[in-house]
Amino acid sequence: QVQLQESGPGLVTPSETLFLTCSVSDYSISNGYYWGWFRQPPGKGLEWIATIYHSGDTYYNPSLKSRVTMSVDTSRNHFSLRLTSLTAADTAVYFCAREMPGEGYMDVWGKGTTVTVSS
Amino acid sequence: QSALTQPASVSGSPGQSITISCTGTTSDVGAYNYVSWYQQRPGKAPKLIIYNVRNRPSGVSSRFSGSKSGNTASLTISGLQAEDEANYYCCSITNRNTLRFGGGTKLTVL
């Protein structure tokens, strides 16, 4: 059964860059599907950040596009998120998920990792 | 991009049915039959309960059903149970290959 696990720093300083990785187990990223990043600020709703295909094709939330880069490493079977110029508004639980290509639903989610932006 | 519109909260008694609406535009909900719904309990990851407007993943109770009319999708939960108390989010693909979520609806089982 496919599983996803997020990893990254719990605390990041304002203006710095966040790096998160999502490790996929029991399923090869190269076999298909899209892979996405999402976040949820404390007490608020879900927000889509970005999606990537194993070929490297990427789709970004227009509101975050200038600060986000998503990449995939098929040899390590994981994908990553880079978010620059962090502010307190980026404080959130970050989730990774498997996404059905062209249909926009996420059938498998990671448990999430909390990221706090604070000095 | 702004969120799809959902009611902030709904409530119902055990055994009753409730419906949560999700209103978008002709660029998202109205454009495709690619609306999905997620259940999220506090401190947990979202769980897919409906995809492609009305399909249920394996293992999801038949008490959950979905529909769509024009730019508005709906999630209905029948035979309400205490365990259904959670936050519910809709999501739609858009005509720009992006994803848009609803603001979320808190379901309270009285």
By residue count, chain B amounts to 110
For A38, residues 6+ apart whose C-beta sits below 8 A from its C-beta are A46, A47, A48, A49, A94, A95, A96, A97, A106
Q: What is the pLDDT of residue B2?
A: 84
Chain B hits for A33, CB-CB cut-off 8 Å, are none
Q: Is there a contact between B34 and A63 if contact means CB atoms under 8 Å apart?
A: no
**What is the chain B residue with the closest CA to A112?**
B45
Q: What is the pLDDT of residue A32?
A: 84
For residues B29 and B23, give the distance between their C-alpha atoms in angstroms, rounded to a whole number: 7
State whether residue A3 sits within 8 Å of chain B by CB. Answer: no
Q: Between A45, A105, A111, which is nearest B36 by CB?
A: A105
State whether residue B1 sits within 8 Å of chain A by CB. Answer: yes
Q: What is the mean pLDDT of residues B76-84?
A: 98
State how far the alpha carbon of B59 is from the alpha carbons of A46, B53, B70, in Å: 23, 17, 29
A-B CB pairs within 8 A amount to: 66
Q: Between B48, B57, B101, which is nearest A48 by CB?
A: B101
Q: What is the mean pLDDT of residues B3-17?
A: 97
Which two three-digit tokens encode residue A94?
A: 């970050």
Q: What is the pLDDT of residue A54?
A: 83
Q: What is the pLDDT of residue A64?
A: 96
| Ranges under pLDDT 70 in chain A | none
Q: Which residue has the tokens 């990792």?
A: A113
Say yes or no to pLDDT of B1 above 80. Answer: no
Q: Between A51, A59, A105, which is nearest B91 by CB?
A: A105
Q: What is the pLDDT of residue B41?
A: 97
Say yes or no to pLDDT of B95 above 90. Answer: yes
- For B16-60, write each residue's pLDDT tens digit: 999 999 999 999 999 999 999 999 999 999 999 999 999 999 999
CB B77 within 8 A of CB B88: no
- For A42-57, write each residue's pLDDT tens digit: 999 999 999 999 888 9
